[in-house]
Structure 1
């Protein structure tokens, strides 16, 4: 009798779960759009090493790209579309949020800081990396911190949290720093190599990534104290709780199983560009906290 009850209960539970999962697709505007198009659009950066950058064949790769593709796998299961097409859309610091907001891309895979201003235009998934703003300079420049930048020039990528943080820090310290806006990291590196600027302000992990792919990595160094705190997360369209639930479930499962740390080590420790950034205690704790139970 007990065995019969258990069997019946298990069958009923399986029926309920089987019926509940497709409901996500029925209610989610993003999943409806993806199903109708037979295609999911992934927005990716082209030079945010090692989060999203191009391989030698011109294909997007990286830590964030791997996480996005895990979510794509779950979308395929949810929609019962094993042959769902994946469209990669190149984005930059200026276009990434507008393209999420207007529905051009279904998920943004790069190196984007989660903050309250951006949350007005898109939703963020759980934190996948923790970093902060520092300076990239040429060795021997004499610049060891932001205080040494008085009377010098610094590049910043427009539309980033680093831009806001650097300008606020300059004002706070009452130092004179001429800022030169750039559209992406390669342009910033060109400015540094040509001597047009003395430093580039960005997230330290991205600066180390730039050094790892520079013509001569030994010429460059990351200096100074953090002047911002930047938790990264993948972005998805706002006001779609069902799509957010699906994607959050994927990230939480990766964190709980330990696969998240394996993916991290693949790209950072040492990583294909030899960035050599072992996982920090803060990020490891963040993974544990965000590994939500069922």
Structure 2
């Protein structure tokens, strides 16, 4: 009997502990205040967030998120708020947000209806166009020119599906490769193993700028999709989402986000001091002027 009671007591304690974990996961602000830490999801190689090595990260979304964290520290009246960094990939970013490992995913994630069923998104910080990069002397200028060619994209992204769904791709047969990450995908193009790399234009522009011979590449073809890029958060935590959105709205209004955009897309950036040279689109500027968390599908209706 005593053994049964012990088992029941341990089980009850485990349930209580599990309930507490789930309660904390749904109250991110309280957990951050209690622990004095926040975890930022960062990418190794995107135009929005990338590694400098030795556990250091930087980029447009990195800076935007750093400002959010400063605002959260003020809101929670914390003398210090430690930022921890968790590298994420296209494949694991959503699970790591869902399970509480990451509080702010500050990579380059598209807000769409499917993902909104699993996670939440802050208001849009950047509106992306999906296009393709090719060798400048390839003769490829449109989707029609991909017949019999090899197209690479990154595992966990939707770029090739978008390409196949485009009406101009009807009857066009091409081979498909997948890079393990964006750097690997660009290497496949750079080495000649792929004829075109399809992904966000900002990612393409960043890798071309960092290439050994940037003039050997060009971004071409039809716009395959217009996609809102936003910071990803756990679902069903309205207080945390409001705090993040309030910080972003303040950064939009003050011109801070526009300043950071100019810093990262129009001026030399580390470590090679290259210039991406990608001015903000009208859609991006409209997202700053009228903050919203609409998914891709709403943009496609326009």
In structure 2, which of residues 100, 110, 129 is the aligned counterpart of residue 103 of structure 1? 100
- For structure 2, the residue ranges without an aligned partner over 5 or more in a row are 1-23, 293-302
TM norm structure 2: 0.83
Partner residue of 1:78 out of 75, 79, 83: 75
| Partner in structure 1 of residue 278 of structure 2 | 277
Match of 1:47 in 2: 45
* Counterpart among 62, 67, 86 of residue 59 in structure 2: 62
Which of 185, 194, 205 is 1:197 aligned to?
A: 194
Over the aligned positions, Cα root-mean-square deviation in angstroms equals 2.0
C-alpha deviation, 1:205, in angstroms: 1.4
* Shift of residue 57, structure 1, vs aligned partner: 5.6
Spell out the pairing of 1:179-190 with structure 2 (5 A cutoff).
Answer: 179-190=176-187
How far 1:56 sits from its partner (Å)? 6.0
The equivalent position to 2:139 in structure 1, one of 139, 142, 153, is 142
Q: 2-side partners of 1:57 and 1:41: how far apart?
A: 17
- State the secondary structure of the residue aligned to 2:108: coil
1:114-263 alignment, distance < 5 Å: 114-169=111-166, 173-263=170-260
Paired residue total: 265
TM-aligned CA distance change 1:277 to 1:172, over 3 Å:
closer
> 1:290 corresponds to which residue?
291
Q: Distance in 1 between matches of 2:78 and 2:204?
A: 39
The alignment's TM-score, normalised by the length of structure 1, stands at 0.85
Deviations 1:212-259 (A, max 9, x none): 111111111111010111111110110000000000000001111222
1:132: Cα distance to partner? 1.6
Counterpart-to-counterpart distance in 1, 2:190 and 2:261: 30
Structure-to-structure mapping, 1:7-18, within 5 angstroms: none
CA distance in structure 1 between the aligned counterparts of 2:168 and 2:29, rounded to whole angstroms: 45
Indicate the residue corresponding to 2:34 in structure 1.
Answer: 36
Q: How many angstroms does 1:68 deviate by?
A: 0.7
Q: Distance in 2 between matches of 1:198 and 1:124?
A: 34
- Segments of structure 1 that go 5 or more residues without pairing to the other structure are 1-25
Do the aligned partners of 2:163 and 2:169 also contact (CA within 8 Å) in 1?
no
Shift of 1:172: 5.1
**Which residue in the other structure is 2:10 paired with?**
none
Q: Secondary structure at the match of 2:212?
A: coil
Alpha carbons of structure 1 residues 171 and 37: separation in structure 2 relative to 1, 3 Å: farther
What is the aligned partner in structure 2 of residue 7 from structure 1?
none
Does structure 1 retain, via aligned residues, the 8 Å contact 2:25–2:100?
A: no
Q: Which moved more, 1:255-264 or 1:60-69?
A: 255-264
